[in-house]
Structure formats: C-alpha cells, structure tokens
Chains A and B, each alone.
Chain A
Amino acid sequence: MTLPTLLIIVLAGAGMAYMLGRMRSQQIAKPIGGVRNLASLPSYYASLMGLWALLPALLLIVLWSVFDGAIINSLVRAELPIEAKSLSSEDLGLVMSQVTNAAAGIGPADTLGVEYQGAIQKLSSLNSTSVKAMPILAIIVLIVGCLLGYRSIRATHNARYGVERIFNVVLIVCSSIAIFSTFGIVFSVLFESIHFFQKVPFTEFLFGTHWSPQIAIRADQAGASGSFGVIPLIVGTLLISFIALVIAVPVGLMSAIYLSEYASARVRAWVKPALEILAGVPTVVYGFFAALTVAPAIRNIGDGIRDWGAENGIQILANLSVSSESALAAGIVMGVMIIPFVSSLSDDVINAVPQSLRDGSYGLGSTQSETIKKVVFPAALPGIVGGVLLAASRAIGETMIVVMAAGLAANLTVNPLEAVTTVTVQIVTLLVGDQEFDSAKTLAAFALGLFLFVITLALNIIALRVVKKYREQYD
C-alpha cells in the first residue's frame, strides 16, 4: 500500500469517526432531554472523536516514515561481516549503498562478496516487513483511537476543552515548524562558517581589503592565492543598496503621500494595484532590464559626456570612464524594484495617523502640505523609517539584479560608475558549478551567508523596534 492511499484511508476513517461521534452524542442526548443537556455540542464530541482517530495514526505514519530508514540501516549494519566494521565511515557508507542497491536489485548483484549476502537479505526482508507493517499498524491505531474516542462520549464529559487543547497544540506545532527551520538554516550556515574560519582567520575575513577566492588546486598554479577580505564586497553591497535607497525612498514616499493624502478614491483604486504589480515582477526580469537596457544606456551617456568633455577641453570629463557593468545601473533598477515596498509600507503608516491630528492641524489654519510636513509626516516618521529599513534589508539581500548588472569584479571603490560586486553575487559564483565542500573557497559562501544574515537580521530588529516604538505613541 502506498503512502497516499494510506493517508486517504486514514482521513476517511477519521471522517467516519466524526460521523459516528455525532451520531453517538445525539443518541446519548435523546433520553436525557436533548442536546442542551450535554456538556458540549455534538459537533465537539464528533470533532474530538475524529481527532482521536486521526492524530495518533498520522503521528505513527510520520514517525515511521522518518525513522524506519535509520532503524533498518542500523539493523542491517549489525549483519555486515566483521571486516566491514573496521572500515572508515566513508567506505562504510559506500558499502551500505552497495548493499542497498543489491537489495533493490539495481546494478550487478555480484559486486559484493558472499559474506554480504546476509546483510542484503536482512535489508530486503526488513524493507518488505516495514512496508507491510506500517499500514496495518496505522489502521489498528486508528481503530483504537476511534474506540477510545467513542467511549469518552458521555453527557457529563466536556468535549470542548479537549478540542480546544488539541487545536492549540496543532497551532503551536505549525508555528514551531517555521521557527525550527529558521534555526536549522542558521545552524547549518553557522557550522560551515566555523569550518571556514578554521581555514581563514576571522580577522582576515572581516578586515581584509582584497577578495579573490580562487585557490590553487595544484602547487605550481600561478595567480590564485585565495584571499578572503570581505570589505570590497561590503562596500559594493552598501554602494548599490545606497543608490537603490536614494531612488526608492523619495519616490516611494512621495507616491505614498500622494496616494494616502491627495489621490481621490478612483485614482487610488488604480494606482495602488499598479504599484503592487511592480512588486510582483520577478527579480530576474529586473535583472535583464538592468543588464541589457539601463547599464548600456548609462555607459552611452557617460561616453557622450566624455567625448563632449574632450572636445571642449574639460579634463575631468574627458577622463570619465563608465564600465558597461556599473553599480549605478544595478542600484537604479534595484531602487525601482523596492519602490513598492517603501510606498506600500509608508502608505500604511500614513493612513494609521489618526484623522483627528489632521483635523487639529486644519482647524488651526494649516494648508494640506503644511499638515503633511509638520504633523502627518513627523507622526508617521518612525513607521516610515521602519519601512525603509525593511526595504534596505531587501536591497542588501537582492541577488539577481546585481548578478546580471553589477559584475563580478571585487573592486574596492565607491565610484558608482565602476563595476563592483556584492556579497550575494559572490555567494552565487562560489557555489555555482562543481565544488568540493572542504575547500575554503566553497566554505566562504557560508561565511558570507552568515555575514549577510547577521546584517539583515540586525536591520530587521532595528526596524521592528522602531515600528513598535511608533505604535505606542497614540494608544
């Protein structure tokens, strides 16, 4: 029986248990004068019985699916011949996978010696037992759950408490999934980063001004010493994010003010969704827009200015050089990308400013723009700052646009017309292609990931703090 079939059977069983519970509770209610004399409504008894049937069986299936591989593996390992037990962990893994293949009938059966036949047979018998036992056990658990639930239906038993408690637990489990996966990701990045810092000193990573992650594979290879100074990447990231914010904050803020204070309901109904569509454009689309349209346009403009400068003998302009992959292009397009973030978050906080404050200001004879500048904007400012910080962490973490438009050269520069590279771009290039997971080059990606995570986490914490402080102002 396959897993989907089993799940459908269990769900159907739980549904039947629900019906049964409903019938049973109504049956109990009849002689004592109706549903109102029960401690809970029939639907609660029915839900409780359904959950009694469903949850233990579901739990069994989940635990079984998660752990049966590991248990079978350890049982089979015990059957391996003695010489296999002295193997190193990598070789043992190799042997185990050969055993697995043999048991599944894949590949040549005779790669392993006769002494392994015991293990192979054990594995196939355990596997077939497991496949047969799980559905049977699950259905038994389902039926036992049904019986227990059925017996618990009594006029005096308050099923509401049980249902509420189970519901509570289900909610807790769901929310912990998100938390635990975050922890899992953080820890996996953290451990790989620790490996990296065993190879490259922490201070060199943090304060080094040269980034060149190529490491010589052979001793005689030239020009690939491998240096992991993160400063050029940080400067590049901050430069592009700064340009993006310079574009996005004024434009986003102004459009938010227009939408919330000036626009009529009809304009708002059109413009707001249009802005949100901008947020829905995939970043890779922005990426090729940046690489194919904006970057060449900027270079052409730069070239035009240089030629004009040369003709007119203006030395500064004649020396102008614009790279075809520039921080400016990536920053501008990224700025356009985060306009909807800024405008939508600012719109929310501006709308949250109570109308009574605006009335107070109008009542004193201020104009609309004075009211916005002197009352609405200052009142909304902390919330707007929070929104801007969230947009900034989005800009710092953005990858696709910078991969396509900003280039790979780790130049330490603040000139927006040169090619720079960012933390995220380097993570991509470090991990693309065939990699060995014990070289500093690959592990550097994890250190960069950790670094980026710490920065955006800090920004988010600051943003949330600011927003929270703002909330306390009116209430």
Chain B
Amino acid sequence: MNTAINNTMSEIAKETYQTVGKPLLDSPKMSIKNTNVFYGAKQAIFDVNLDVGHNQVISMIGPSGCGKSTFLRCLNRMNDTIDICRVDGQLMLDDLNIYDKKVDVVELRARVGMVFQKPNPFPKSIYENVAYGARIHGLTDNKVELDELVEKSLQRCGLWKEVKDRLDEPATGLSGGQQQRLCIARAIAVNPEVILMDEPCSALDPIATATVEELIHELSENFTICIVTHSMQQAARVSQRTAYFHLGKLIEVNDTSTVFTNPEHKLTEEYITGRIG
C-alpha cells in the first residue's frame, strides 16, 4: 500500500519550505523528514521537517486549520482511518519507519499513545477503561497484576483517590476533567514511549485544565509528549519546545521561551501577539 501511495505522491507537485529556528535535534525520539500530507487532491501539510526530543514536551500551535492536528495524527498513523488521507515522507520513531509497509499499526500505537480533544471514555466501568489497553496487548498475566497496573496508572494521573471506591461505576459518570485524566491513565496504562495529545484541555474548565497541565508536566519525566494546543499560555506552561504551523507549513521551531519572547519569523510574532488568530 505504501508503494502505491508513493507512486501517487510523486505525481503531485511538492512545495518545499525552509523552517526557521531549530527543528532538528542531536538524538531525537521521533524524526520527521520531508513529510507531506494530502486529503484527496488537497495538500494539508507541506514538507515538514521536525525532531521530537526524548522525554520532552513539544507543543504545536497555530491558527485553526493550519494542519497541526493532521500532523499529530500522522505520528501514530491515526490518519489511516481516513480513506482519502495520504502521507508521504519519512517519519521515524527511534529506528522504526512509521509508514513502512511492514509496520504493525497495532504495535506502533501501543508505543505512541493518543489523548483526544474531547474526553472519550468507553461506555464501560472506570476499571475496564484503564484495563482496556492492557487486556488487548496482553500486558498482564493475572488479575493481581492487572489490578496493580490499573491502580498505578490511575495514581500517576492523580485520579486514584477520587475513584478508588467506585472503580466499577461507569466512566461516563465522571466529570469532564476526571474523564480526560482517565483517558490519559488509559493511554499510559499501555506504557507507551510517546503520548500525542490533541488539544486535551479544550473541553475542560480552568481548574481541570490546571490539573491536566500539572499532570503533563509530571508525565514528561517518563514520556515524550507532543501536544497540540490553541492556548499559547498552555504551550508556554507545559512545553520545552514549541512549533508554529501556518497554512500547513511548519514556520518556526524553537525553545518555548525563545518562541514566545523572541520569535524569529514574522508570522510567528504576528500570531503570538494576537494579530493572526
């Protein structure tokens, strides 16, 4: 299937774009080279080159429709579920070429977990939600281990104290913030290496947002995190590096403090000062 994609891609003209700042790192966790994404005939991402560092938080900002979510969904091949979406380029996770046709998507997604914009707990119990991934991947051998994994995952998300007496209750009964932390617990229960977060706080109130941001900060000790956000304050609070996208192009990548205090590119400056939005 991949060769078919590549053949089709070669027929479509590709624009190149030189990103300003420091898109590349020395020993990256993920390395994205010359990546283009198409929806049918429409190109959504233009020639993106970007490295993601080990146990770092990188945030992706930019105006609506700039392709930052599309880009994020390439990193664990979630775009495969969209028929007309085609990805071209080299995307590496350590030594693994993500879009190689031999890659097992299931294994890839176990290594690169995802948290979505709207909390989407399964209509099952709290326990079953967290245990879901572990059951699918056979991570535990018995009930005791599974119990431990569920407890550990919930504890890491600061949810254990709130839900330990009602693990059998439906997860849909939790508040929005609790649901989103449950979704994060569900993702880390699989013990991924990278966690992708697509605007994880946009459906939450400020207090729940603060809790989740705190959690992201703690998780970055053990996980590599890519977060798409609309909130520049959030990007500034949680991430070490920030990437600015504009109309499908990666305009600028730099340390978060540099991007927000001393942007190199005019578009970045206009965006963070509120003139594009």
Contact = CB atoms under 8 A, between A and B. Distances in A.
- DSSP majority for the A interface? helix
Contact of A365 (B110, B116, B120, B183): B110
Interface in B109-133: 109-110, 113-116, 118, 120-124, 132-133
B81 A360 contact: no
A379 B123 CA distance: 6
Interface string B124-144: 100000001100110000000
Given A264-B83, A370-B136, A363 B124 contact: no
Nearest to A375: B122
A460 B76 CA distance: 45
Nearest to B189: A364
B106 A360 contact: no
Nearest to B124: A378
Given A365-B190, A379-B123, A356 B118 contact: yes
A43 interface: no
B25 interface: no
Nearest to B136: A366
A473 interface: yes
Interface string A323-366: 00000000000000000000000000000001011111111111
Given A356-B116, A366-B136, A473-B172, A361 B122 contact: yes
Interface string A216-257: 000000000000000000000000000000000000000000
B187 interface: yes
B78 interface: yes
Most buried by A among B76, B105, B136: B136
B123 A473 contact: yes
Nearest to A353: B123
Contacts of B81: 358-359, 362
A268 interface: no
A364 B123 contact: no
A435 interface: no
B107 A364 contact: no
B116 A366 contact: no
A358 to B, nearest CB: 7
B186 interface: yes
Contacts of B186: 360, 364
B187 A363 contact: yes
B123 A365 contact: no
Most buried by A among B120, B132, B172, B186: B120
B78 A374 contact: no
A365 B133 contact: yes
Most buried by B among A264, A356, A359, A367: A359
Nearest to A379: B123
A360 B122 contact: yes
B126 to A, nearest CB: 14
Contacts of A378: 122-124
A265 B116 CA distance: 26
A223 to B, nearest CB: 60
Contacts of B115: 363
A356 B118 CA distance: 8
Contacts of A356: 116, 118, 120
B107 to A, nearest CB: 7
A473 B190 CA distance: 26
B78 to A, nearest CB: 6
Interface string A141-176: 000000000000000000000000000000000000
Contact of B109 (A264, A354, A364, A374): A364
A266 to B, nearest CB: 11
A175 to B, nearest CB: 34
Contacts of A364: 109-110, 113-114, 132-133, 136, 186-187, 190
A363 B110 contact: no
A365 B132 contact: no
Interface string B247-266: 00000000000000000000
Given A358-B81, A365-B110, A374 B116 contact: no
Interface string B63-96: 0000000000000101001010000000000000
Contacts of B109: 362-365
B77 to A, nearest CB: 9
A358 B120 CA distance: 9
B106 A354 contact: no
Contacts of A379: 122-123
A359 B116 CA distance: 8
Interface in B144-197: 172, 183, 186-187, 190, 196
Most buried by A among B78, B132, B137: B132
A265 B83 CA distance: 10
Contacts of B187: 363-364
The 10 A-B pairs of least Cβ separation, nearest first, read A363-B114, A365-B109, A365-B110, A356-B120, A364-B133, A360-B120, A365-B106, A379-B123, A366-B136, A473-B123
9 contacts: A359-B120, A363-B196, A364-B190, A365-B109, A365-B136, A365-B137, A374-B136, A378-B123, A378-B124
Interface of A: 264-265, 354, 356-367, 370, 374-375, 378-379, 473-474
Given A364-B110, A379-B123, 11 more contacts: A265-B83, A359-B78, A359-B120, A360-B116, A360-B120, A362-B81, A362-B109, A363-B115, A365-B107, A367-B106, A473-B123
